A and B are shown apart, each in its own frame.
Chain A
Amino acid sequence: MFDLLEPLLSEFSGVDYGEIRFHERNQNAIAIRKGELETAKATSYSGAAVRVLSQGGWGFSSTNRIERNELKRTISDAIKAAKVSSAGKKSKEVKLAKANLAKGKFEPKINDPLTNHSFEEKLELVRNTEAKVAKASPLIQSAYVYYNETLDKKYILTTDGARAEIYDSKPEFFILAVASDGKDYVRALEATGTTGGWKDLFSKKSPETMVDRVVERVSKLLKAPYPPGERATVILDPGLVGLISHEAIGHTVEADFVLSGAITKDKINQRVGSELVTMFDSGPEQNAGGTLLVDDEGVLTEKTIIIENGILKSFLHNRETAAKMNVKPTGNARAYEYPDEPLIRMRNTGIEPGKNTLESMIAEIKHGYLLKQAGGGQADANAEFMFQVSEAYRIEDGKVGELLRDVTISGQAFDVLLSVDALSKDFIWDMGWGHCGKGQPAKVDGGGPYLRCQVIIGGRQK
């Protein structure tokens, strides 16, 4: 592929910067619901994208036909687009920061490649898992089990020297159960996702554990009361700590948001959280769902410390925003598929563990909640975040009580970080089955220890 792509770099003469990214994505998925197969598919999606910077204007074009003349035409279209874009632009001062550009072959650590396992084996796992959930309780009306694997191959070349060949493998496994007592309907979800192979996928929880948890929770939810609406002390599990890091803080430190005027813009080197909080966003993590070794501008990724002991240290950058703020790029430019342009996106975002135990953190709460199981979430410019909690328990006088219905949690991100008063010793990436949406999807992960803080619970008023 380099033989075809490399000579094309000469087509970029007369522009400031050019980038060619070939991306081939193969996805295989199986879904069974209530004993019936809903999906068995093999999809292939591939093509090359070209991005050009000329006189401050960015142009982009892509093609699904990988041959010399078509690629040349695509480059010429991208150059034309850059000129249009430059013509409409106010600020023609766009520079790209010097970066640690990737050269060579990159592949995450893979235990037991997914291709070692046949379609039949994967189908059998999905079938058996669905059958186990369906049979577990007469209250269960329906079970849905889904397996998906995404296998990527990329080649990234830039006019200033990136030359990378990149492989990736990201499997996911979901179990959803719906229970009903004839009148009320409730659901519970267990999911896992990672970067790696078959052994990596089930290294944190086995399908059996996931079945047991989903069955137990969905049955209890039918009798669960609604939580009251109030501001309260809560303990978040590692997945929710990941979600709060991602939604509440992560989005507000993406440099494109910062440059638009997000609330963090003047906060570098200022206190934004309790001194217990050290938060990071990292590309080269092992066994996490958002692992990224090289970003889509060809920059080698790193572990970026966003907050150190409560002090805001860094934003998340691409090469353009890094140059604007006179810092090093952090390797956060990501494109979802070949026809998408790179945007500033998170990778694996989390909080470093502390010194407490979960037991002592619970014992110290007089009235509060233990919150588990991350769902969806959203961020805002004023740092007011929200996210879903699927598993909530009351804590009264230091003891975990009954399960409550699922609920949405909110708060002002920096108020919440300042309220953090305990972190457990654990660390788990537990959001790897999720996607982040910002115009394009991206595979991300989030994690951390158990964390105690104050949030608003969007429950019921009497």
Chain B
Amino acid sequence: MIELGEIAVKKALELGADEAEAYLIRGKEFNVSLESNDIKLAKSQTRDGIGIRVFKNKSLGFASVNVLSEPKIAEAVSNAVRLAKLTPADKYNQLPMPTPLTKVEGIYDPQAEKIEMDFALDNAVKMLKTVQNFDKRIAVDSGSFDASVYEIGIVNSKGIKLSERGSSFSYVIFGMATDKQEVSCFQYEFDVTHQASEVNVEKVALDFAQKVINSLGAKKWESFKGTVILDPEVVTDLLSVILFSVNANNVQKGMSRFAKSLNQKVAMADLSIEDNGLLKGGNASGSFDREGVARKLIKLIDKGVLNTFLYNSYTANKENRISTGHATGGTREVPYIGPTNLTISPGNKTKDELIKDVRKGILVTRLSCFPNPVSGDFSGVVKGGFRIENGEIGKPVIETMIAGNVFELINQISGISKEQKRIFSFIVPWLKIEDISITSG
């Protein structure tokens, strides 16, 4: 595969590009999906792609194609060069040089190469049956089990030439419960792993089933300002605001509230967040980023102090520093900036201890919400939320909304749990937050 990348780069230079980069992916997947309490469809396919980025007189051009044949690649290269001749120059357009890499472990399971459709079917059936045996009131609306292997490669005219293999098993289940006239809210549960031996569909199915049953019997409550305990999944949703604000491109382009906050306290001293692209077996792990720059461990927020922003080559060039290895994106887009495996450090109380101290509040296990990454404002509908009164978890709530501001919220944390949960590539504890607006319809 890497040879095709070399051909693309060579071709681009022949056509007049000053610098060129080819990013390639080749993958194979088996997938079995569920719908309306039954198997829906079985799917087997391969997926390829190449994305070509060129600079000509410091001007950008990008093209991609999903067919890895020499004529198709040549056509994409010539499209990229054509665009680069038309776009405005930018002196920071410069591809990265090779850097020493640390090989990440645990992202490829050779067993995955031998997997067939039956493996996906067996797991999908097991997931469905586990739920159906748990409680007849649960309806599985949809779900899937996916097994895939892939290889990514990156070649550039500055001497980067890298490839890496990976494997992935991901499974999700989604549905609701029906009890007489009542229909609960949707719930879902999922997991992803690189290792076939770590696949555990029963656990996901049981967690899902328990969540769905718990959400039956939801009632309206009342409007007040109080304490909320946020499930790791909800914390992950709100974290998007922080991630937007530490993205160096948003910082440099005047969209981040953290623009002038580097080395300053932005959150309570209890809050530490790190990003580790080299985490063993991490779902976002890789030895190198989308530009071929080494991944590494970064302390993003250390005891409440903002330590660094996340950079790709372009934003690093602007500040005359080196990229932190956070270029991301597929073959169909110009590389941008994104986090890898993110960890919020655990606290010193258990989740139950956090709940015990709440006089009046809500435990939020899912929040239907699109936080505004610029202002930090959020208001969302509590799904699968529960009353907490005098330290006891009570009835589930419905037609309840919470609102606040993420930048304020990270300064209103009154507790962080010892326990952490893995949500895709994020490892996150439960958070207890004070003074949140709760509105009941």
Contact = CB atoms under 8 A, between A and B. Distances in A.
Contact of A88 (B124, B142, B175, B185): B124
B214 interface: no
Size band of the interface chain A makes with B: 35 or more
Contacts of B32: 84-85, 88
Interface of A: 27, 33-34, 36-47, 51, 57-65, 77, 80-82, 84-85, 87-91, 119-120, 123, 127, 141-142, 144, 178, 180, 184-187, 226, 229-231, 256-257, 259-263, 339, 341, 375-376, 378, 380-384, 386, 388, 405-408, 410-412, 439, 456-462
A378 B367 CA distance: 11
B35 interface: yes
B259 to A, nearest CB: 9
A407 B379 contact: yes
Given A40-B62, A185-B375, A257-B141, A230 B253 contact: no
A42 B255 contact: no
B390 to A, nearest CB: 21
Given A59-B41, A64-B67, A81-B44, A88 B401 contact: no
Interface in B151-200: 175-176, 178, 182-186
Contacts of A144: 253, 255
A185 B36 contact: no
B183 A88 contact: no
Contacts of A412: 399
A403 B63 CA distance: 42
Nearest to A375: B370
Q: Which 10 A-B pairs have the closest CB atoms?
A: A229-B439, A141-B254, A458-B401, A458-B379, A142-B254, A456-B441, A85-B42, A381-B176, A81-B42, A58-B41
Interface string B331-359: 01110100000000000000000000000
B278 interface: no
A411 B401 CA distance: 10
A185 B375 CA distance: 5
B273 interface: no
B395 interface: no
A61 B44 contact: yes
A57 B39 contact: yes
Contacts of A61: 43-45
B399 A411 contact: yes
B102 to A, nearest CB: 30
B375 A84 contact: no
A260 B118 contact: no
With a 10 A CB-CB cut-off, give which of A59, A90, A141, A260 has the most chain B CB atoms.
A260
Contact of B36 (A256, A407, A461): A256
B257 A185 contact: yes
7 contacts: A58-B40, A229-B437, A260-B139, A341-B43, A406-B372, A408-B401, A460-B437
B46 interface: yes
Contacts, number: 270
Contacts of A90: 37-39
B255 A84 contact: no
Contacts of A386: 368-369, 380-381
Contact of B379 (A85, A87, A141, A459): A459
Contact of B63 (A42, A57, A85): A42
A43 B43 contact: no
Contact of A384 (B252, B372, B399, B439): B399
Contacts of A462: 225
A46 B67 CA distance: 8
Given A458-B380, A461-B224, 8 more contacts: A87-B121, A88-B124, A119-B83, A178-B255, A382-B183, A410-B368, A456-B441, A459-B379
A251 B332 CA distance: 30
B76 interface: yes
B88 A37 contact: yes
B183 A457 contact: no
B18 interface: no
A261 B141 CA distance: 8
Contacts of B375: 184-187, 405-406
Given A85-B121, A187-B372, A410-B441, A380 B403 contact: no
Contacts of B249: 33, 38
Contact of B253 (A33, A58, A460): A33
A157 to B, nearest CB: 19
B368 A381 contact: no
Nearest to B45: A62
A318 B341 CA distance: 40
Contact of A456 (B176, B370, B401): B401
A119 B178 CA distance: 54
B269 interface: no
Contact of B42 (A41, A82, A180, A458): A82
